[in-house]
Structure 1
Amino acid sequence: MTASVQREALSGVHPHERAAFPRHVAIIMDGNGRWAKERGLPRTEGHRQGVETLRRIVRHAAKLGISCLTLYSFSSENWTRPEAEVSFLMGLLQRFVRRDLAELVKANIKVRVIGSREGLSPSIASLLDEAEAATRGNSGMELVVAFNYGARDELTRAMRKIAADVAAGRLDPAKIDESVIASRLDTADLPDPDLIIRTSGEQRLSNFLLWQAAYAEFFFPRFNWPDFDEKAFDEALSVFAARDRRYGGLSQKADA
């Protein structure tokens, strides 16, 4: 399916009604530093260009009718990077929210932040709260920002919640099933990702949505995140549309 055909197919059709169209796309935005290094630029310039790519992809995904877009913006492991780089990234986050929040509100995009808020500076924590509060009434695409996020940490926090409920007598251990675990995750009430994209050619999850990715399809473009554009996003959707998603069962294709 070409991008032009895909756009025509989207016309007048809600994406939830199209089995070959992903409701939830998640992106690991990788390669900012490598992009800068290839051009003899400081890593900070790669991050700056990465934010510009982020803006374009958010607009494009919303225009296409993606229901949920999750972006791995800052992992719980990223704090180990040089202090100057972390400080620059925090500044970028602040500038992004200050510059783009009004546009997100106007575009009917709803922001949701996943990850641990523990240990965040008051200024960053309040900024994340502000972005969620300002867009809470929106009903369009849900933009999920994975910040200070690690899937193992998410699962650990979920297990603690379940253990506390069991200890308090609110939950029968025999009743613990997949739905109970999912309801304690940061992504509770969100659909699992249908498609996960990781740029830069790396082919690993890096502690991202480990539970939720059980049946996700993957797309690994070789170019770095600042070079990822609308055409590349459309290509990922076309590749997804050609996949045969069986969920452990038999093929649904006519010739299977």
Structure 2
Amino acid sequence: MKNLIKTVFIFLTAISIVGCSNDDETLNPVDDRSFTTNATTDFFINKDGTVNISVSGTLQDNGSIGNVINRGFVYGMSSQPEVNPNNTAMALGEFDSVTGYIEGLTPTANYFIRGYFEYDDGTFFYGNEMQVSTDIDASTNRTISLDLESEAFLIQTNFITVTININAVEKEMPIEVGVEYSLSSDFSNSSSNAVENFSGAHNQGTIVVTSYSAVAEPLQSETLYYFRPYAKYADETFTNGGTSTASFTTN
């Protein structure tokens, strides 16, 4: 009889321990949340000198802590930045791999970036912090692809309007795009004129406006001229942006 009572007591105690353990897990779920921002970033320098930074990261959230309503990257010039209406970028992507694109950062500055989850109760979870500098020299790896359309937009006796296409831009937007023109095919004694409406618009690696009109003037009537596009960067460097040339004769 004593052995039976002892056995029943041990059995009930075991059930009680298991029940308490399950209750503890329900009340205090395991926090397996993580948001790791990768140290490797990419950049683009805008026409006005501001810098865009692309970041990436991996995340995990099993939903046991709260209901996530937003996820992204938060940035600031001070360590441990917290979310406000003006310092976040959306985390885009599926499953556990995401990217973010932070635009218009101040040049020659240091920024702190970390990923975050926002919950429906107004609280936030922040991941690890990384640091990036916007003091960037893009002169060794920037590229631009320009060409002239084969037909002039407008030909008159004393001016010719041509169309310049920007096909690709990498790392840095020039501050000026225009046309160079000369009486010689080697472009000796050439003149140049910048387009008037060059916005340099750029959004997440895509050029928003890709075609511009440039006017060469004053020109001589009934004269053959040679044309090629050019781009000018903030450091006063010029490039032809390719080998595209064209020739047109004034009326």
Same fold per TM (> 0.5)?
Answer: no
Q: Which structure has more strand as a fraction of its residues? A: 2
Relative contact order, higher structure (CA 8 A, sep 6+): 1
**TM bracket, shorter-chain basis:** under 0.3
The answer to which structure has the higher helix fraction is 1
TM-score (normalised: structure 1): 0.19
